[in-house]
Structure 1
Amino acid sequence: MPELRPLDPSFPIQRQLALEASPVVLVNLLTLDKADEAAFLEAWRGDAAFMKAQPGFISTQLHRALGDSPTYLNYAVWESTEAFRTAFGQPAFQARIAEYPASAVASPHLFQRVAAPGICVA
């Protein structure tokens, strides 16, 4: 089971899940031992397939750090915190978390898009 280490210790994912926002982006930075990469990727693919079937799921993309760093970044878009909270809280998903290698450290955080006139929309 991975260790959860908040990106912002003063506002961990458990507090974020209590908020209502729409849409939201889950950014999850994951580190692990290099020897555990194959097991990690297998567990992540299973999680991604599970989440893809959940109401409110829009998309996900996994990124790997360049070079020899066994660091990954998962980026997932959801219609709302409610949709993500419902999927994340399902017992079937919670059971899947145990499939990750013990060396994995996950730092999930929810974000909303920000508008910057002439650059991007919210």
Structure 2
Amino acid sequence: MSLLCPMDPAFPIERQLTIDAGPVVLVNVFTLDEPDEQTFLRAWQDDAEVMKRQPGFIATQLHRALGKSPTYLNYAVWETTAHFRAAFTHPGFRASLSAYPSSAVASPHLFQKVAMSGICVA
């Protein structure tokens, strides 16, 4: 099972899940040992298959760091925090965590779009 290490220790994912908001974007940075990459990728794919069947799931994308860094960034878009909370606590998802290599450390955090006049919309 991968270790959870909050991006913001003062406001970990468990606290974020108590806020009703939507839509939300999960950003999750994974670090792991290079020999564990194939195991990680299989676990992430299985995980994503579970999540995409959950109500409120919109999309996800996995990115790998350039070069030899075994660092991955995943983002997933959800209709609401409530939808993500239900998926995050779903027994199928919780069971899938045991497939991650022991070297994997996950740093999940929820975000919302920010509107900036003339630049981007929320």
TM range (shorter): over 0.9
Matched, 1:88 2:99: no
Is 1:23 aligned to 2:20, yes or no?
Answer: no
Specify the alignment match of 1:113 in structure 2.
113
Describe the superposition over 1:20-52 as per-residue Cα deviations: whole angstroms up to 9, x where unpaired: 000000000000000000000000000111111
The code of the aligned residue for 2:17 comes to L
SS at match of 1:98: helix
Q: CA RMSD in A?
A: 0.4
Q: How far did 1:91 drift?
A: 1.2
Unaligned runs of 5+ in 1: none
1:86: Cα distance to partner?
Answer: 0.4
2-structure distance, mates of 1:86, 1:46? 18
Give SS of 2:99's match: coil
Amino acid at match of 2:65: A
| Superposition pairs of residues 54-65 of structure 1, within 5 angstroms | 54-65=54-65
Distance 1:84 1:100 in 2: 20
Distance 1:91 1:56 in 2: 17
State the 1:92 CA deviation. 1.4
The number of equivalent residue pairs is: 122
Q: Which amino acid aligns with 2:38?
A: A
Shift of 1:12: 0.1
Report the TM-score, using the length of structure 2 for normalisation: 0.99
SS in 1 for 2:107: strand
- Counterparts of 1:92-107 in structure 2, within 5 Å, are 92-107=92-107
